[in-house]
Amino acid sequence: MPQGRPEQTPPLLALVALGGNLPSPEGPPEATLRRAITQIAEEIGVISRESRLFRTPCFPAGAGPDYVNAAVGITTRMPAREILAALHKIEIRHGRERKQRWGMRTLDLDLIALGGAVLPDPATQAAWRALPPDLQQMRAPDDLVLPHPRLQDRAFVLVPLMDVAPDWVHPLLGLSVAEMTARLPAADLAEVVPLAGEGAPAGN
């Protein structure tokens, strides 16, 4: 490498989950998610793989309209916290208001993973991953936790990720997206249904 030229950070695969169940200025959730994917590509990195759009029941059950969910893989050199900040800005543009944890929203963008990064450290990630279900709705981490601590539990995240990165391996659990998906209850998987007209996943 020539002297005086800083070494570039190698590109990593960022996995982002998208969801929404309320209309935004873009229109219904389907339009919001498609516009958000375009903005992610403009501001964070190259979209290497894009999932189909899926319809999933609102969580908790009965709390509102069904969700539309998707996932993308992004090749990027941005650090994790910069990616998260960019995702939050895109959410705000689409009318996202953070009033209630797990409440209805126009757009939800979650950074699920960045390569094999574990943030802020393995012990903290494991503690949030082991948080009992009755505490999950009441507590939120003060800092970014990667991989997302609920990743392995959520069909509405894993099923779209199967279109994007089935072979990505959780750095602490040692399980791929495909393996984590296979461990979920069949009833949970059956609730995540491709929208009508959604064909094979798109990618480069």
Both tokens assigned to 119: 């943030």
Residues with a known catalytic role: 96, 105, 108, 110
Q: What is the 3-state secondary structure (H, E, C) of the chain?
A: CCCCCCCCCCCEEEEEEEEECCCECCECHHHHHHHHHHHHHHHCCEEEEECCCEEECCCCCCCCCCEEEEEEEEEECCCHHHHHHHHHHHHHHCCCCCCCCCCCCCCEEEEEEECCCCECCHHHHHHHHCCCHHHHCCCCCCCCCECCCCHHHCHHHHHHHHHHCCCCECCCCCCEHHHHHHCCCHHHHHCCEECCCCCCCEEC
